[in-house]
Structure 1
Amino acid sequence: MINALVVYESLYGNTEEIAREVASGLEYGGAAATVRPVAEVDPAEIARYDVVVAGCPTHAFSMPSRRTRGEETGLREWIEHLEPAIGARPAFAVFDTRRDLRARHLSGSAARSATRALRRRHRVLADDPASFYVSGNEGPLLPGEAVRARAWGSRLARCTSQR
């Protein structure tokens, strides 16, 4: 059985909701999934997982920073504390939440920023980054996004089990 960890940084609850839906999809796909806020996960803990799914909202065209969210630890800082490891497990998948499709060209993508940061740490990616859309800056999620998140999680479980 695939052992998955879903970590998230969420400001308005939308990213947390997507994280829980991704975990539900992972479980539907046959994985055991744990969901936790990124600030509560020591990067040294990840070695026991086969896949880590990490998500955060898009802020200022990228991952939130201490300047845009405050002092607490977020995904950006968490990735910076990962030990560089060429080809080591776990594999990673990343997602973000961002403004609705009509504003896509204005919002940037935290998932793309997280992907670049993980590659700088020589981490293996299990899938392309995914984006899930919210209405305006604070949400709620657009209709159908929770279903898309579950489907993506299920696909991640299947992809990871074939590695």
Structure 2
Amino acid sequence: MGVVVVYESMYGNTHQIARAIGLGLTEAHCPAEVFSVEAARERGIRPDDVLVVGAPTHVHGLSRDSTRKAAAKEAPKNELEMDPAAQGPAVREWLASLGKTTGKAAAFDTRIKAPALFTGRASHTIAKALRRHGFELLAEPESFLVTSTNQLMPEEEARARQWGADLAAKILSIQP
């Protein structure tokens, strides 16, 4: 059983959170590989993989082509650098390409620090898509917060690392 953390990231925040989750999983004796959507496509998903999938929240949910283009256009204006994986495929399309399965999974997102009612949560959309494909969720969808200027809030990486460790405990408890 392998653990695969798959992320989409525009400005690098979701990428940082994915790495922290992977580190938390690995430190808790549940080795994880972290991949951008494009790299995950190339690797493929194996039947016994546990998926941990994350993306930034755009307009209350997963990004679309139009929101990704808008984010790229805004980056220079806000002195933000695009993540190397930002030009690759998005989580929405990758999830749509998955077949039916009976695997285990978890979902996370990054979103602006504000009530979820106002921001939405990409993790909820990811979780629904994973369930439709037959995955059983190991945890409630989780959000990691960024400032209004798209910087990770203090302690979010540490919180993501702990979330990864908590996931590891659940994964290890179900291993035969």
Report the secondary structure of 1:61's partner residue: coil
Q: Distance in 1 between matches of 2:47 and 2:30?
A: 14
TM-score (norm. length: structure 2): 0.83
Measure how far apart 1:103 and its partner are: 4.6
Aligned to 2:135: 123
TM-score, normalised with respect to structure 1? 0.89
Paired amino acid for 2:12: G
Counterpart of 2:92 in structure 1 is 76
Shift of 1:126: 1.6
Structure 1 residues without counterparts, runs of 5 or longer: none
Q: Is the 8 A contact 2:37 2:91 kept in 1?
A: yes
- 1:159, 1:50 → 2: CA distance? 14
> Is 2:164 the counterpart of 1:153?
yes
Of 47-56 and 142-151, the range deviating more from structure 2 = 47-56
Q: Distance in 2 between matches of 1:106 and 1:68?
A: 17
Whichever of the two has the greater Rg, that structure is: 2
Tell me the secondary structure at the aligned position of residue 41 of structure 1: helix
2:137 aligned counterpart, secondary structure: coil
Contact map agreement 1:66 1:72 (CA 8 A) in 2:
no
Work out whether residues 44 and 82 of structure 1, in 8 Å CA contact, stay in contact via their aligned partners in 2: no
Q: CA deviation at 1:54?
A: 0.7
Find the counterpart in structure 2 of residue 96 from structure 1.
109
Q: Secondary structure at the match of 2:51?
A: strand
Aligned to 1:9: 8
* Contact 2:146–2:152 (CA under 8 A) maintained in structure 1: yes
Give the match's secondary structure for 2:157: helix
**Quick one: percent identity of the two aligned structures?**
36
For 1:124, give the aligned amino acid.
Answer: E
- Note the C-alpha offset of 1:145: 0.6
CA contact (8 A) 1:3 1:51 kept: yes
SS at match of 1:63: coil
Tell me, in whole angstroms, the C-alpha distance in 1 between the residues paired with 2:157 and 2:145: 10
